Structure 1
Amino acid sequence: MASPTVPAQGAAAYRLPPPLIERLTSHIVAGGAESTTIPTPFTGEDLATVPLSSADDVRRAHERAREAQRAWAKLSPGERAKPFLRLADALVERRDEILDVIQLETGKARRHALEEFLDVALCSLYYARRAPGLLKPKRRQGMMPGLTRVQELRHPKGVVALIAPWNYPFALGASDIAPALMAGNAVVHKPDTQTCLSSLWVLDLLVSLGLPRHLWQIVVGEPAEIGDPLIEQADYVSFTGSTRGGRAIAEKVAPRLVGYSLELGGKNPMIVLDDADVERAARGALRACFTNAGQLCISIERMYVHAAVYDRFVPRFADLVNGMRLGAELDFDVEMGSLTYPRQLEAVTRHVGQAVEAGATVLAGGNARPDLGPLFFEPTVLTDVTADMDLCANETFGPVVAVYKVASEDEAVERANDTEYGLNASVWTKNAARGRRVAARIQAGTVNVNDGFGAAYASYDAPMGGMKQSGVGRRHGAEGLLKFTEAQTIASQHIADLEPPGSLSYARFADVMTSGIKAMKRMRVK
């Protein structure tokens, strides 16, 4: 790997104030002397030293969280929502500070850090507005109309263990923790070590806005050290990460019959139909494929282009990709930033190199860019990718997309569905109704028409998650909050009991009840 590179802005621009780092890391539950230093991907230079949690620290975090949760659960949903209503205004006031933190710990472009900022602000505001209504007791239809009164209650699970990934640490931490807390739970949260600062930043902010100090506990360390104690004491587990990691989580919680939700990997397809606006689709594909340098579980890695527009779309898309501005600047002009981890650079380099060696054609990119920083890789477009190449079916999780020509809509849908994954997809057409019909045929939890991923993901009133090997459960919408609760049904019987009255025989009672089924259907009572 190339030696660290200091971008044109100077090394000082790629550091955070020591008092800020000290304040943030004080929120980590860590009682020992062990620590680790995390670098900024832009330069490879040290960014912060963070203390590491032990297994005992995780157990202590659970104890603190459980104690805090008892008092928190007694508050009304409206009271629990207040810190999150204040959060939206506070985020706006401190936008540039958190964008700097996100960029420096992940290496992403500022415009992509902004997406994380917007996600936390809008998602937490959505739940702050709707949690009281979603959690209030609800009347349900009873067995015997007028005689049976039924109420559905929602109780918090207790303590939620939340494991967040490194690629969107601000969004995929806070945006899941907000509904878990508003549902009345406490959270023990393990962010990725490299990207823990943004989670610590929003925790620090929420505490200043009135969130009880011990309600959200953050532990930092490797899964081998703190993974088991994190999960063993949890009442619910929320995980975002690889499919392999999700399977391991499911195996660990299964013996305890603890609920879980998993958002996992994807090999997401984009379909460009024969009536697509070629210019719009080509520009939209830039964001769909290369947001956060492709380190996004819902980004596009496979593109199926109808033969009728293939010869116009592919050259235009390649030209746009070749013209993208890469860099480490802390401004909004850069179109793509760095990869976050050396292992991601190695994986991308291996996938592209193996594909090219086996006969794939590079239309744009294809190379690492150590002149820009130690972990930069060019946005890359390949054709002639075949099934024997690792790039074809396996998730690359980097700035690489393979383009395939298809002869029909049916072929595009068939090939889009030919994967073990089913997280996200994209369809491009001038006819939105046609796009929705095609979208309904794709086996993916979210499908976007004339957009890559943002239209579905940012529609917080609708569920988001994966089919097949891409996950279990959903975030967003009512389910994104109610999954953190236990449903309880309370039914009270009035006037008459559910047994034969007086001297009526059971045989006659059975006839009466049976006849009642027809009567209730006829009167539309049932």
Structure 2
Amino acid sequence: MDALTPLTYKTLLSKVTETTGRPMHDPATGDLIGHAPVRSISDVDNAVRRARAAQPGWAARSDDERVQTLLHAADAVEASTEALAELLCREQGKPLNGPNARFEVGACAAWLRATAGTPLPGGTVFEDDEIHAELHYRPVGVVGAIGPWNWPMMITTWQVAPSLRMGNTVVVKPSEYTPLSVLALGEVLNSALPDDVLTVVPGEGDLGAHLTTHPDVDKLMFTGSTGTGKAIARDSASTLKRLTLELGGNDAGIVLPDVDPSKIAEGLFWGAFINTGQTCAALKRLYVHTDVYDQVCAALVEFARQMPMGPGLDEQNVLGPLQNKAQYDIVAGLVDAAIASGAKVLLGGDPANDGGGLFYPTTLVADIDNDNPLVAQEQFGPALPIVRYSDLDEAVAMANGLDVGLGASVWSADPAAARSVAARLEAGTVWINSHGGVHPMIPFGGIKGSGYGLEFGSEGLKSVSVPQVING
């Protein structure tokens, strides 16, 4: 197809579904969307073989040629935005509007363009009368990319765009929960790419495990749970794969006593509830100073009440269902346990479940202990525990008390005070008066149990390359 020919939803769906395979259902309605292909280990081997054969030719192209190809791919994504967004909405559950489906598709195009425009890393590192040393970044080879179900198109783009820019080829294994979205993105991207440079292989978890140990996969990028990340690190050791692991988080936010609660309520809400709370770097536990605790809780309740939740194809909704029943059960179980422990539900916590979808109401839980499972475990859904503190050192200790470190935030009217607290937090990114925002030129990655390796900007290009020093 012509890369700039807009695809309709029906046409795109027909390109990525089969008559048999894994049945995919809309989490908002339970309706059948279609059947996703389920590929085999031999299909992975074939994809890697073709990627290995295509990689030297792709790497031999000039950087400008690869840049122009990425820009053409961005044009293709933009041309089919509505079809991609509708499929994403139906399969993942996120609404069309708000920071959701159209937003995610737009981010795919934006990241392709930003990656194309990022200056290549490297250059002269030392020079004197006898030595001229240059550092260059060469393609690593074949990149295996294993993505999650919460932001399936956007995170796949985060993995694919820098890999292609640096001359690698990519084999993508999407989540079993959202394969159609990634297949659709791959269909559109491949309208602008040479054959076999990018291949999407949907299937069960054994395909991802096979990529992890495959001797012809040189680099693996994974976004998902800490447990799976540990398994990848262990199983990939025999082939010494380079790894980028963006793993689970349980991000803390600390609210200082000088805030105006009405001014931060919107930022707190979207920091916690973007994508209905199903975001690795969402705000998942909030520590509020006792002097402003009641006011912050009240401001959050007032703002949250105004945010409509429902089927994503309804243009008014900005919050959707949980993507799958397993995640729904985790959220419901944690909230029920918090209620049983005596915590106070300010909003939500009582799902109706009369519409056939996996909707869990926006839930705010106050007067909760720091060791409560809703605080200590990553809920990954629309339930925010709000913990009271009186001593800042205590708040910092609680924020740092878990073996995760993806993101964190500090909320204050005094930027200097906020930065001072931020420097004490153990997280890969600490935001001031916001939470979870990412930018294609700002490096992003976790520490502790949240993984290692950086994405975005020049650091992201380095992560999908191998350094070479030419000294002479």
CA drift of 1:477 comes to 2.0
Aligned to 1:469: 449
TM-score, length basis structure 2: 0.93
The match for 1:480 among 443, 460, 471 is 460
CA drift of 1:461 comes to 1.6
8 A contact 1:174–1:199 mirrored in 2: no
CA drift of 1:323 comes to 3.4
1:435-480 Cα offsets, whole Å, 9 max, x none, are 22221221111111111211xx12x222101111011111112111
1:129/1:317 CA distance change after superposition, 3 Å:
same
8 A contact 1:269–1:302 mirrored in 2: yes
The 2-side partners of 1:229 and 1:335 are apart by 36
Structure 1 counterpart of 2:15, one-letter code:
R
Aligned to 2:61: 75
Q: CA RMSD in A?
A: 1.9
The 1-side partners of 2:104 and 2:280 are apart by 14
Aligned pairs for 1:1-20 (under 5 A) are 17-20=9-12
8 A contact 2:209–2:232 mirrored in 1: no
Other structure's SS at 1:65 match? helix
Other structure's SS at 2:66 match? helix
CA drift of 1:307 comes to 1.6
1:173-213 Cα offsets, whole Å, 9 max, x none, are 0122110111110111101122122222222222222x112
CA drift of 1:418 comes to 1.4
The match for 2:117 among 118, 129, 136 is 129
Aligned to 1:212: 194
Aligned to 1:236: 219
The match for 1:64 among 32, 50, 53 is 50
The 2-side partners of 1:149 and 1:204 are apart by 45
Other structure's SS at 1:330 match? coil
Structure 2 counterpart of 1:286, one-letter code:
F
Aligned to 1:141: 126
Other structure's SS at 1:296 match? coil
The match for 1:167 among 141, 147, 150 is 150
1:119/1:17 CA distance change after superposition, 3 Å:
closer
How many aligned positions are there?
462
CA drift of 1:101 comes to 1.4
CA drift of 1:405 comes to 1.3
The 1-side partners of 2:188 and 2:452 are apart by 31
8 A contact 2:444–2:454 mirrored in 1: yes
The match for 1:53 among 26, 39, 57 is 39
1:283 aligns with 2:266: yes
Aligned to 2:399: 416
Structure number, greater radius of gyration: 1
The 1-side partners of 2:405 and 2:208 are apart by 30
The 2-side partners of 1:316 and 1:173 are apart by 36
The match for 1:183 among 166, 176, 183 is 166
1:276-329 Cα offsets, whole Å, 9 max, x none, are 121121121111111111110011111111122112111221232233311104
Structure 2 counterpart of 1:126, one-letter code:
A
CA drift of 1:332 comes to 4.5
8 A contact 1:119–1:175 mirrored in 2: no
Structure 2, unaligned stretches of length 5 or more? 1-7
CA drift of 1:158 comes to 0.6
The 2-side partners of 1:226 and 1:305 are apart by 41
1:253 aligns with 2:254: no
CA drift of 1:371 comes to 2.8
Structure 1 counterpart of 2:206, one-letter code:
A
Tell me whether 102-111 or 236-245 shows the greater mean CA deviation: 102-111
Quote the sequence identity (%).
35
Aligned to 2:284: 301
The 1-side partners of 2:433 and 2:113 are apart by 26
Other structure's SS at 1:245 match? helix
Aligned to 1:374: 357
1:251/1:299 CA distance change after superposition, 3 Å:
same
8 A contact 1:161–1:231 mirrored in 2: no
Aligned to 1:516: none
The match for 1:222 among 204, 221, 228 is 204
1:370-425 Cα offsets, whole Å, 9 max, x none, are 23442000011112323553212111111111111111333322221111111111
8 A contact 1:269–1:300 mirrored in 2: yes
Aligned to 1:115: 103
Other structure's SS at 1:81 match? helix
CA drift of 1:226 comes to 5.2
1:19/1:385 CA distance change after superposition, 3 Å:
same
1:379/1:206 CA distance change after superposition, 3 Å:
same
CA drift of 1:105 comes to 0.8
8 A contact 2:190–2:198 mirrored in 1: no
TM-score, length basis structure 1: 0.84
8 A contact 2:418–2:432 mirrored in 1: yes
Structure 1, unaligned stretches of length 5 or more? 1-15, 27-32, 493-526
The 1-side partners of 2:323 and 2:353 are apart by 14
